[in-house]
Structure 1
Amino acid sequence: MLQLSNVNTFYGPSQVLHEVSLEVQKGEIVCLLGANAAGKTTTMKTIFGLVRPRGGSILFDGKPIERRLTGDIVASGLALVPEARRIFPRMSVLENLEMGAYTRKSRAELSQDLEHVCDIFPRLRERLKQAAGTMSGGEQQMLAMARALMSHPRMICMDEPSMGLSPIMVETVFETVQRIRNEGVTVFLVEQNASMALKLADRGYVLQTGKIVLSDTAANLLTNDLVRQAYLGGA
């Protein structure tokens, strides 16, 4: 469904991604693991056209998107839950959700989707008129995920969804990721919480200094010595 082939991304003269290749099949949860500054967020930005690659290709459903506008990429069925949530703090919860649906046309479908995301995140239903910036970090993460779902995506990309959350809220977030996949949405997950991500995912990739150094099933990565030493606290 999503395929990156030999992607090279730069910030000015500095190369951040080096020949990155990965793929996500329809119906999968695939995670991308890596330490701070490994290039995970740059990978997401490159997929969504926020940074243009200088080499390589990015295909979504077999069609190239590396030169398309971000809005067109979202309209094609690919949604982003950005790092640090990036909600609109002065807007209400409902207005944030409506912003997620800016590419949609049918008002009837929007009403159905609003009802659906409120079923997934009941706390948001109670706060639709509340300013989004006054909610807790966990509630804001729920809103960021719900906002992405309002675009009615076929695939959703999540950048560090567990960052800064309490252990209980982290469990809630990952349970929601599983539910989203079970409802037919493919998931590409960038995470530092390697243990939780690998227990949830089907497959995973490990990114170090902008290069993919490992790729395997999630079960195999959980027992891989390099992954255990670097991300799971193994001996």
Structure 2
Amino acid sequence: MLRLVNVNTYYGPSHVLQDISLDVEKGEIVCLLGANAAGKTTTMKTIFGLVRPSSGSINFDGQDIERKLTGDIVKAGLALVPEARRIFPRMTVRENLEMGAFTRANKKEIADDMDHVCQIFPRLQERLKQLAGTMSGGEQQMLAMGRAIMSRPRMICMDEPSMGLSPKLVETVFDTILRIRSEGMTIFLVEQNASMALSLADRGYVLQTGKIVLSDTAKNLLTNDLVRQAYLGG
């Protein structure tokens, strides 16, 4: 469903992504692991057209998207849950969710999806009229995920969804990811929490200083010595 082939991305003279190649099949959860500054968020930004690759190809569901505008990429069926959530703090929860559906026109389908999001996240149902910026970090993460679902995507990319959350809320977020996948969603997950990410992913890639250094099934990566030493503390 998503394939990157030999993608190179620069910030000025800095060669941040170096010949990145990875793929995500329909229905999978695939995680991208790496330390700070490894290039994980740049990978997400490159996929969504927020940063342009200097070379290489990005294909989503049969379409080359490496030169498309971000809005057109969202319309094609990709949705992003960005790092640090990036909700609209001065808008209500309802308005934030409606922003997720900005590419859509069918009001009934949008209303149905709003109900569906509130079933997945009952806390949001209770706070539809509340300003999003007044919610806790965990509630804002739920909102960011709900906003992505509102675009009715075929695939969701999540950038560090566990960042800044308590262990209990991290479990809630990852349980929700599994629920979304059970409903047919394909998920590409960028995470520093390697143990949690690999516990639910089908496959994973390890990124170090802009290069993919490992790729395998999640089960094998959990027992890989390099992964255990670098990311699992053992």
Same fold (TM over 0.5): yes
Q: Counterpart amino acid of 1:226?
A: L
After the TM superposition, which segments of 4 or more aligned residues of structure 1 sit over 4 Å from their partners? Answer: none
Q: Which residue of 2 aligns with 1:56?
A: 56
The structural deviation recorded for 1:195 is: 0.2
Q: Which residue of 2 aligns with 1:25?
A: 25
2: CA distance between counterparts of 1:19 and 1:179? 33
The structural deviation recorded for 1:50 is: 0.1
The structural deviation recorded for 1:63 is: 1.0
Count matched residues. Answer: 234
1:84 equivalent to 2:102? Answer no
- CA deviation digits over 1:127-162, x for unaligned, max 9? 000000000000000000000000000000000000
2: CA distance between counterparts of 1:14 and 1:203? 29
Q: Counterpart amino acid of 2:17?
A: L
1:99 equivalent to 2:99? Answer yes
2: CA distance between counterparts of 1:157 and 1:205? 15
1: CA distance between counterparts of 2:9 and 2:181? 29
Q: Which residue of 2 aligns with 1:231?
A: 231
- CA deviation digits over 1:47-91, x for unaligned, max 9? 000000000000001210000000000011000000000000000
1:70 equivalent to 2:66? Answer no
The structural deviation recorded for 1:26 is: 0.1
Q: Secondary structure at the match of 1:230?
A: helix
2: CA distance between counterparts of 1:89 and 1:9? 31
Q: Which residue of 2 aligns with 1:193?
A: 193
The structural deviation recorded for 1:105 is: 1.2
Q: Secondary structure at the match of 2:37?
A: coil
1:131 equivalent to 2:136? Answer no
Q: Percent identity at matched positions?
A: 81
Q: Counterpart amino acid of 2:152?
A: H
**How do 1:198-209 residues align onto structure 2 when only pairs under 5 Å count?**
198-209=198-209
2: CA distance between counterparts of 1:159 and 1:208? 17
Q: Secondary structure at the match of 1:172?
A: helix
Q: Secondary structure at the match of 2:7?
A: strand
Q: Which residue of 1 aligns with 2:118?
A: 118
Q: Which residue of 2 aligns with 1:34?
A: 34
Q: Secondary structure at the match of 2:115?
A: helix
Q: Secondary structure at the match of 1:41?
A: helix
The structural deviation recorded for 1:13 is: 1.3
Q: Counterpart amino acid of 1:130?
A: Q
Q: Secondary structure at the match of 1:189?
A: strand
Q: Counterpart amino acid of 2:13?
A: P
Q: Which residue of 1 aligns with 2:14?
A: 14
Q: Which residue of 1 aligns with 2:217?
A: 217
The structural deviation recorded for 1:18 is: 0.0
CA RMSD of aligned residues (A): 0.3
**How do 1:159-198 residues align onto structure 2 when only pairs under 5 Å count?**
159-198=159-198
1: CA distance between counterparts of 2:173 and 2:102? 24
1: CA distance between counterparts of 2:38 and 2:13? 17
